[in-house]
A and B are shown apart, each in its own frame.
Chain A
Amino acid sequence: MRAALDTRAIVRAGVILVVVALAMTLYSAFIGNAGSDSSRAISAAGATTGTISTTAINEAPIAPLSEASAVTGVATATDPTPTHVNRLAQNVVNGVTFGLLLALASVGLSLIYGTTGLSNFAHGEQVSFGAILTYFLATSDKVSLPLIPKEFTIGLPLVVAAILAVIIAGGSGWLQDKFLWGPLRRKRVGVVQQMIVSIGLSLALVNLLQWWMGGRKMRLTTSIDTRHHWGGIEISNQTIISMVIAIVCLLAVSWFLLYTRLGRATRAVSDNPSLAAASGIKVDSIVRLVWILAAALAAVGGILLALYEQATSFDAGSRMLLLMFAAVTLGGLGQPFGALVGSLVIGIVVEVSTLWLPPDLKFATALAILIVVLLFRPQGILGRPERVG
């Protein structure tokens, strides 16, 4: 697998490039649509139905792609005014922030995959759950629980609410493993079957969250954010705090995995469950620990993401799910540190791509990267070369 690129891979790369080039030509053709009557009719119709034209969405009109590819990696011309924001640097910073938050969420996904072989599709809901629970505990608005016709306000301070939410989320991970995944493993239910179960769980949970909170946007904090300008980038207090918390959490997880007995046992189970069991490691309790850890980390990620995006909603996590999968696959399925690397790559790519592509194509870019990576290195960046087919 680690061998030099063979001809097949080169052919694949060629075809991908051709497809991308075609897509780009099409794209530029439609961007500069002074073309057919139909498109004009449609945009006129769009204007009447109140959709916003492309130029209104992006502050700056998008450069045609042919030119953009020529200036890849070159910062856009600087403005003499001191408050100018260097867009490339700004997007890289945003990307790193987003990548760190994504990493918090995906490390758990990767650990679960490594120890049990399950691609858990319900992980996105764990992310939303953390954020929504924090809102539920901290908000000064009236909240209620499903099926209980009583409104009340809890209104804890944000930090206390967040810590409580993370603890409860960890508890939800324990519950899931005790009553759902553990019994399924004991019944020797296949991994694919478990994956479909997790899809059902995801569908159930996302609708439960929507039932609980409705479709509204929820703000965890109402305070106005102060923004700092440092050398061409703009960064807000909330972002800095989020980044620091994320880095601390990730370092703690790394330390746990590398230097503690339990962490070493976790990695052993991830490498080879049967060998680990034979060496006297209690695989089942390790897996349970991993579920608790994963759910708690996902909740932390969800809370920080809600602060970073300034709002959360019932589907905040499920929108992130595919990015998490992209990050985990990119880094190598079942490699916790791979998830970290993959998340940073995905985060930076997603944010930097908005320099040349419209923002509503951010996620599509990340998914395209996922597919391209699977073409060349199915085992991901840090994954061990093994036969996966």
Chain B
Amino acid sequence: MDFAGLLTDAGRELFAPTTAAFALAAIGLNFHFGLTGLLNMGQAGFMLLGMYGYAITVRDIENNNGQFLGVAMSAGATVALGFLVAIVLAVLFGLLLGWPTLKLRGDYLAIVTIAAAEMVRFLGRSQSFQGLTGGSTGIRGKDFKGPFESLSPFPDRQITIGPFTMHGSVSTSWWLVIVSWSFVAVAALLFWRLSRSPWGRVLKGVREDEDAVRSLGKNVYGYKMQALVLGGVIGALGGVLWSFGNAVAPDSMGRPTTFWIWTLLLLGGAATVFGPILGSALFWTALVLVKGLAAMFIPATWLAPTQLEPFSLMLVGVTLMLLVIFRPQGVLGDRRELAINDR
């Protein structure tokens, strides 16, 4: 019964880079769903595309001895270029997705986004693009993490702060914690300012009653498109940060990942500034706690260690159902603010 160890693990999840990456992806989804009412079921596709864009760009520059089109690149410039490619890809993907579907009913967008996200995954894991994307094994961390880790101001060793020990700058590191939470802070600030701006008020109008906004002479299609692209870009950045702590693996960005993002967004409270962040922290902490407690209290004859993962993810699914039925506004949300309806 190692309660202290379990609590430490759960506490680490509160600020882990993965939590931040998912919070970022959920903030993106919050622009789609919370603000505009768009049913984007392909957020994992945006994330995967972002990490491919970053990892492939950086890997090729690295393999080219730090040369890009004959120009020597510093580590900082390489990282910046990688992020830029990720953003451009997400913008293009958003435009491509939104263009046929944003004129249609909400569930069409849901089906198309989920299909497009799966397409990205299938293409990524296909043998045919082995040279580009690394097929189903993906791209290993050491091929693209170098420039980002070399930017770290922290020493190259394990650092212990309180009960938590992490490496200074490699992979899931204190450096990554600081960078990813800074991203989350900026995105949350962006959401806070934009949702109160005239632009954000139009989006909320679109969410509540599209036709009313259209009758005021607003270009609803254009506004929806802007929201889709902006949220998708934030999702792609989340994907890049996630890959810094793990690696680029197409199968980790399948449909379940999108559904987790939805769950944690609805858990924290859609259409709120801190909802995605709180939801992500609660989600990952709860997952660790559930697994740990189940391993402690349910005898192995009833629940084998291999069954812990599906058991806890089953609870995630049940949580999502109960949330939507009984408390669609989540922990922080406002019921009047969030009428899930057909848009």
Contact = CB atoms under 8 A, between A and B. Distances in A.
Interface in A138-171: 146-149
Contacts of B310: 207-208, 210-211
A246 B104 CA distance: 34
A155 to B, nearest CB: 23
Contact of A192 (B59, B106, B130, B132): B106
Interface stretch (A42-50, A236-244, A337-345): A42-50
Given A192-B341, A193-B324, A207-B314, A30 B135 contact: no
Contacts of A195: 39, 107, 110
B307 interface: yes
A46 B135 contact: yes
Question: Which bracket fits the contact residues of B?
Answer: 35 or more
Contacts of B59: 38
Contacts of B64: 37-38
Interface in B129-145: 129-132, 134-137, 140
B115 A49 contact: no
Contacts of A147: 302-303
Contacts of A60: none
A199 B320 contact: yes
Contacts of A184: 325
B112 A197 contact: no
A52 to B, nearest CB: 8
B32 to A, nearest CB: 13
A80 interface: no
Given A208-B310, A358-B127, A367-B115, A30 B132 contact: yes
Contacts, number: 198
Nearest to A323: B115
Given A49-B137, A54-B128, A192-B39, A119 B111 contact: yes
Of B115, B259, B343, most A-chain CB atoms within 10 Å: B115
Interface string A7-23: 00000100000010000
A204 B318 contact: yes
B104 A389 contact: yes
B340 interface: yes
B175 interface: no
B108 A203 contact: no
Contacts of B315: 204
A266 interface: no
A363 B119 CA distance: 8
Nearest to A328: B111
B233 to A, nearest CB: 20
A207 B311 contact: yes
Contacts of A196: 262, 266, 320, 324, 340
A41 interface: yes
A378 B325 CA distance: 30
B110 A363 contact: no
Given A196-B324, A201-B321, A202-B317, A42 B131 contact: yes
A361 interface: yes
Contacts of B263: 200, 203
Contact of B136 (A12, A51, A192, A325): A51
Given A200-B319, A211-B307, A360-B125, 12 more contacts: A37-B64, A38-B60, A38-B131, A39-B131, A39-B132, A46-B130, A51-B135, A146-B307, A201-B317, A204-B317, A207-B310, A364-B118
28 contacts: A38-B64, A42-B130, A42-B134, A43-B131, A52-B127, A57-B127, A119-B111, A190-B341, A191-B107, A193-B325, A193-B328, A196-B320, A197-B324, A199-B262, A200-B318, A200-B319, A203-B314, A208-B310, A358-B127, A360-B128, A361-B128, A364-B119, A364-B126, A367-B119, A368-B119, A371-B100, A389-B103, A389-B105
